[in-house]
Amino acid sequence: MKSINFITKVIFVLLLSISMLSCKNETVNEPSAEHLELERADKQLADNLKMYETVWDDIINKREIDKINETNFDNNITLITAPENVVGIQGFKAYYQNYLTGFSDVTFTIVDVFGQGDKIVKHWNFKGTHSGEFFGIPASGKKVDIDGVTLVKMKDGKIAQEQDFLDNLSFYQQLGLIPTE
């Protein structure tokens, strides 16, 4: 009986040793091309989100309108708007200059930003005092506080297209252009 226990122990130790050696000799699988592409896409999205938040914080809160340039925006940047789209860096810059000219003490807050692939969604809040001409509307001295959402398309790490959605009725009422009742 002792010899059977001894033989069982020897066999067990041999099997354990073989098992451990085979584990050491296994090669680690290389990441698949699909896995590497997903990692690259995730990094690109993270880079896009960080750049996007920083650029808009600088443009509105720091009033650095010149950040609307070839470094941050595609040359054919398109703002989807009515009655017609604004296309190109100079037109885009002139459009947003109206906000900087029209409002003092601006606070622009990105409430949330997220994305997938080359698309970004930004939930924002804009506060300020209408102290200058805004798209031809003379200063009213009224304070505005408006929330909105922007749909964004990126291209090669640059902002290529934007479309803003906000409650225009509330915005115009806050400006005193439309009665509140």
Q: What residue spans define the domains of the chain?
A: 39-174
What is the distance between the alpha carbons of residues 36 and 31, in angstroms, rounded to a whole number?
7
**Strand duo 86-87 + 73-79: pairing:** antiparallel
Nearest alpha carbon to residue 135 among 89, 179, 99? 99
- Where does residue 164 rank: exposed (0-12), middle (13-18), buried (19+ CB within 10 A)? middle
Q: What would the two tokens of residue 80 be?
A: 């989807």
Coil/strand/helix, residue 27? coil
Q: How high is the pLDDT of residue 181? A: 77
What is the distance between the alpha carbons of residues 168 and 43, in angstroms, rounded to a whole number?
36
Q: How high is the pLDDT of residue 17? A: 63
Q: How high is the pLDDT of residue 42? A: 84
Decide if domain 39-174 falls under CATH 2.40.50.100: no
Identify residue 96 by its one-letter amino acid code.
Answer: Y
Q: What is the pLDDT along the chain (181 residues), one digit of tens a residue?
A: 566 666 766 566 556 566 665 555 445 577 788 878 778 878 889 999 999 999 999 999 999 999 999 999 999 999 999 999 999 999 999 999 999 999 999 999 999 999 999 999 999 999 999 999 999 999 999 999 999 999 999 999 999 999 999 999 999 999 999 988 7
DSSP 103-137: EEEEEEEEEEEEEETTEEEEEEEEEEEE-S-BTTB
